[in-house]
Structure formats: structure tokens, C-alpha cells
Structure 1
């Protein structure tokens, strides 16, 4: 492993991160499509069977790989750069709902979308007595570990990445919208919930990684998904969430920070205080030059909105990429969640723009 992480969107899976290979292009596109894109194209059902049946998932991965190679020849969309010698049959399992599943939340699996949690959020009284689940006696986690073992038995190596999300995302699934009020009215309750979730994230990750390591797939990093961070002020982030992001970074030694396409400016100073940040992404409206200054050793990435790729004039997209390369490069361009209405020609054009800019960047 190098010291950086890069974006990674396996076919049929939400975006996550993987170790960098060390020879990434100056402007590297990472392209990803929604489950509906694949269902519309080749009829894959992303319901519960996709997440639990290894043979079915391997069949669907082969179909998705063939469709990507047919429509985007030579682009290597969705291909792992770390350990490309082994088949990734794990990334995407249970979507972003693994921690929620460990806490007993019902998960709804859907034919053309990623899983979501359902059910009633926990009450204040339930949160007050909440404890991290006993992972030695967790049916959901036991099944996940058995699934990893089954992948290793079938393929020889359990390669891939579980999407553990971030403390805020997971806590929101458990507590619901009341979480944001709790920060003002019941701060100790908030910290109790965040501590429970953070403890589970670290413990579950370590246990699962041990199983993967035995099979020959050894990685040690964590990526936190702070998709909801713009719903809290920078002051609330520093008080309530920063301590847990830092705790995770110290536990694993390498951290990726995912912010979706939000403007990351209000949180950059706090993020810069977290050790071992090896990847950080943000929206195009962020102060890119300042972010590059604050994170010179991390792989940086722009989350380029799928609506912009679908609707913007290509000349405007090219100008966006030129600005990103100049102010933010070297970096990834993460074009995730592309829907089936987006013409393939636009995806190919974005890849070509990044390739051309990488040639220019290499001369700097």
C-alpha cells in the first residue's frame, strides 16, 4: 500500500475508497453508475439475493463487467487498482447499511436501488440505555463474517471493502432527525450514541479485516462518510464529530474523508487537525486551492454531480475540469451515481478530458 487512498466504485456498489497504486494520473476519473443503470441495461436484480448469494453476485458482476467493457472499451471502469490480481466479490454487500444492520435496524433491499434502513428511530430513552452490540452474539454480523469466509473458500481470497459509513450517518439512521435537536438539548445523549457507534465501527472493522487477512487480502485503513456534515455547523462538527473521526484515524493509521458534493470549506480546518488523512473529497464550489494547501499529502477528489455530467454543455464541463486540475490537482474526479439517461458519449468525453489534462499535468 502507498500512503494515499483513491476513490473506488465497484460495479453495482456505492462509492468507497481503496489504496492508491502510486502511479495515478494527474486527473483521474472514477466513474460509477446506479443500480438502476445496470438494471435498465442488463436486467440485474439488486434485491436481497444480490447481497446474500455469492454465486448470483459473481454472475451479475461478470455481466456488469461485460457491459462496461462493451460500452466503454479500454476505460477500465470499476476496476480495482489495489490487488487487481484477485476478484472483488465483497464491495457493495449491504450497501451503506452494515452498522445499522448490526444495531438491529430492518434493511429494505430493492431491485434497482441500494439498500435502505426502515423502521422507527430509537427514542431518547432507548438511546440512553444503548450499548454497543455484542459482536460475538450478533446474527447480522455473524452472517457477514460467514459470507466473507464463503467468498474466501470459493475464490481463494476475500477481497473488497465494506462501506462502514461515518459516525454521523450511522447515528442518524439509528436516531433519525431528532439527532440534530439532541445536539442542543441533550449533548451527553449525543456523545453516548456517537461513542457506541464509533466503538462498533472500529471493532467490527478489525474483526472483519482479520478474516480477510487470513484469506490473503490485507488492508489497514478506514474511510468515513460524512454525507450529512453540512447539516451541522463547523462548531458542532468540532464538538460532536471531530473526536470520533480522530479516534478512527488513530485506530487505523490511514483515513479517507468523504463529504459528498457539499462545500467542505467550513470543515477543512478541523479535518486538517485529524492525523493520517490520506484522501479527502468535496464539491466543486469548495475553495480548492486552500484544500490543496491544507492536504498536500492526501489524494484529493472532486465529487462531480451526475446532473452536471448529464446536463451541462461539454464546453462548461471541460472548463470545470481545467479549473480543478489547476487549483486542486493531482486529484480524482468522482462521477458517481450516473443514471441511464446520461449518454455514454458524455461519460467517454469526460474520460478523454481527464486523460488530456493528465498529460498536461505531468509536464508541470
Structure 2
């Protein structure tokens, strides 16, 4: 496995789904990354996360400042949502269109809600459309051009365009475009999948290139990508290896560093294939995975556990602390990702998790991110 030039860490901007960013400085042995749902912020601040939030960067800027202020009030001194950094420049990009941008580029309508992330309308490709699919022309694509108009506004407002678009991954996007039929296609008509997978790959790479070129001109130089494999547990290891891994590899080979996101699923059946990807700087998985084996397979990547919001809400702090001790022993140094925390989870629970991570890290020390 080719070593990454640097590590990636989990990153959750206020109200955004979890994504990744380059590691900086010395990291805590068990580094917590905490995130809350849009409903959490709406409950406390009455923010409307509908279409305007995703289309109007000026309105979004107002809400980001309000969310950062709320986090500082509730969790002073913490790094939650990046509140340990100044308000300038603000990240006004992360979270835009949730995980739906690629589907929108292919013409799928986005459905918005005042208290949730966007979703895709169930408008799926027919067999005929699938057979003739091509990557959209981004120069003429309304969804992509609308994004770049926002990026230009952010550059005018902040000077530096920080943040990330969630491009998802091959299977995640294919399911949004084809629906559940994609899983049948992979078994019965794999040749039918290839044009779609290739078009998704090319769109991710070209969209990323254009966005990153613009960001670079403002001083934000990002050269990595994340593969979001949230649905990988719905296909067999062989299907992943034969049908999807080649596209993941091509995406990885086109960038300096790759992150692999699995949600909180058991990643065991796919770990060996992930280890064949070049320059893996980040990998995450659920607690049911073989954490010791994952550490052996990815010694130079920043590893992360996706700790479910159900466990955060339902387990006692003593039970959570026992989980964290095992994670640190079997998997550390690593991130603990507590994403999608809902309204109703007490602040004391979040503060307790932060304290437990700090206590464990104090015993183990800090670790510097891998640098080339």
C-alpha cells in the first residue's frame, strides 16, 4: 500500500454532515469530533435549513455565525464546529446541498426541509437512460454553475474559500440516480452499471478539479478526496472488489490523498480491499469492526470510529467511557466521531464525552499527523 503524504481527520462544520479535512499540528490520541443535526440547531436557534440556506451564502453566513455563537456558549473552550478558530475566514461551503450535489448535477431534483439535510427526489434512470448516460457538461450545468456562483460570493466575502463539498462515492451516487435497482443491476446486468459508474467518477473528479482550482487561487489549497461508501454493506465483498474498487482506485490515483468513509457499519469484509488503495490518509468504521486488524492494515492513516448518536443518547457516561477505553487500546491513535447528535441529548453528555477523551489522551500523549 502506497503511503499517504499526510493524514486526514474528521470534520463537522456547524449543521453539516461529517466530512474530512487535512490534519494539522499535534493530535489528541483520542480526538473527539462532535456534530449536531440541523434539527438540533433549529430547535435552539429557529434556523430554517430549507432551500435558501443552501442557495443563499449571505443568509448562510448569518446562520453560521449564530451557530458558532451557540456552540461557544454551550461548549466553551471546545473545538466543536471549529469554534476554537477565528470567525474569519468563515467556512461557508461545507454542508451546501448535503450529499446531493452530484445527483443534482445529473438532473435529480433536491428536496429541502427546514430541519434536516436535503434529500433527492425518487426520480430514477430508466434502462435506456442508463445505457446512454454521459458526464454532464459542467460549463452548462445549472447545479454546478449555481455552486460556483456561490463560491465566487464567498471569495468576495471571506477572501479565502475554505471548506468542502460532499461528493459522496460511486455507489452512494448510483443509488440516488438509479434507486434500489442498482443492486439488482450489479448482479444481473453488470455491464449496464459501467457507464453510470464511469460518469459518476468523471463528474466527481472534474467537479473537484474546478472547485479546487478556484479555491487554490484564494489561498485554500486542498488536494485530497473522500470516498463515501455508506452503502457498501449492501453489496458483497466480491461485488465491491469486482464492480466498485476499480473506480475507487481511479479516484484515489487522481488525488494526493484519499479518505474512506464507511459510516458506523462493520467494515471487516472490505478492509483488505481498502488496503489496496493508494495513499489512504483516513479510514472510519463502526465499533463492530475488527479494530486491531484495521490498525495493522492502516498504520499510517488517521483512523476514526463512527460512534452512533443512539449510543451517545442511550448509553450512560460510564458505558461510553468503557467503549472509549477499548477504542483507544485497540485502534488508537484515532478520532472519535460523534455525528448527527439530535435535539434532546443533554449538553452534559457531550461535555462528558469531551472530558473522557481528554482524560484518555492525557494518559497516552499526543501524536503528530503524518507528513510527507
Same fold (TM over 0.5): yes
Task: Measure, in 1, the Cα distance between the counterparts of 2:254 and 2:307.
Answer: 30
Residue 107 in structure 1 maps to residue 107 in structure 2: no
CA distance in 1, matches of 2:308, 2:15: 18
Where in structure 2 are the equivalents of 1:116-135 lying within 5 Å? Answer: 116-135=119-138
* One of 51, 55, 66 as aligned partner of 2:54: 51
CA shift for structure 1 position 84? 8.5
Paired residues, what number? 364
**Structure 1 residue ranges (4+ consecutive) displaced by more than 3 angstroms after TM superposition:** 80-85
Query: SS of the counterpart of 2:125?
Result: coil
Q: Which has the higher contact order (CA 8 A, sep 6+)?
A: 2
Q: Is the 8 A contact 1:18 1:82 kept in 2?
A: no
Task: Map 1:177-196; keep pairs closer than 5 Å.
Answer: 177-196=180-199
Separation of aligned partners in 1, 2:366 and 2:35: 29
Rounded Cα–Cα distance in structure 1 between residues aligned with 2:123 and 2:253 = 33
Q: Secondary structure at the match of 2:112?
A: strand
Corresponding residue for 1:153? 156
**Kept after mapping to 2: 8 A contact 1:52/1:147:** yes
Q: Quote the residue 1:295 is aligned against.
A: 298
Correspondence 1:325 to 2:345: no
Tell me the distance in 2 between the aligned counterparts of 1:275 and 1:312.
Answer: 37
| 1: CA distance, partners of 2:366 / 2:65 | 38
Check whether the contact 2:68–2:83 (CA below 8 A) recurs between aligned residues: no
Q: CA deviation at 1:318?
A: 0.5
Name the residue aligned to 2:43. 40
**Partner SS, residue 340 of structure 2:** strand
Stretches of structure 2 lacking an aligned partner (at least 5 in a row): 368-372
Secondary structure of 1:113 counterpart: coil
1:152 Cα shift? 0.1
TM-score (norm 1): 0.97
Distance 2:115 2:67 in 1: 14
- In the TM superposition, what are the counterparts of 1:1-364 in structure 2 within 5 Å? 3-79=6-82, 86-362=89-365
Query: 1:212-239 deviations in whole A, cap 9, x for unaligned?
Result: 1111111100001100000001110001
**Over aligned residues, Cα RMSD in angstroms?**
1.6
Q: Against the structure 1 CA distance between its residues 82 and 135, is the aligned structure 2 distance closer, same or farther, given a 3 Å change threshold?
A: farther
1:20–1:81 contact (8 Å) kept in structure 2: no
C-alpha change, 1:190 and 1:84, in structure 2 (3 Å) is farther
Residues 236-278 of structure 1 deviation map (CA, whole Å, 9 limit, x = unaligned): 0001111111111100120000000000000000000000100
Normalising by structure 2, report the TM-score.
Answer: 0.95
Distance 2:254 2:85 in 1: 22
Q: Is the 8 A contact 1:21 1:81 kept in 2?
A: no
Relative to structure 1, the CA distance from residue 88 to residue 19 in structure 2 (aligned partners, 3 Å threshold; closer, same or farther) is same
Per-residue deviation at 1:2?
6.6
Q: Secondary structure at the match of 1:242?
A: helix
Post-superposition Cα deviations, 1:185-223, rounded to whole Å, max 9, x if no partner, equal 110111221111011100110011111111111110000
* TM-fit CA distance, 1:140: 1.1
Structure 1, unaligned stretches of length 5 or more? Answer: none
Deviation at 1:22, TM superposition (A): 3.4
SS of structure 1 residue aligned to 2:287: coil
Aligned to 1:114, what secondary structure does the other structure show? coil
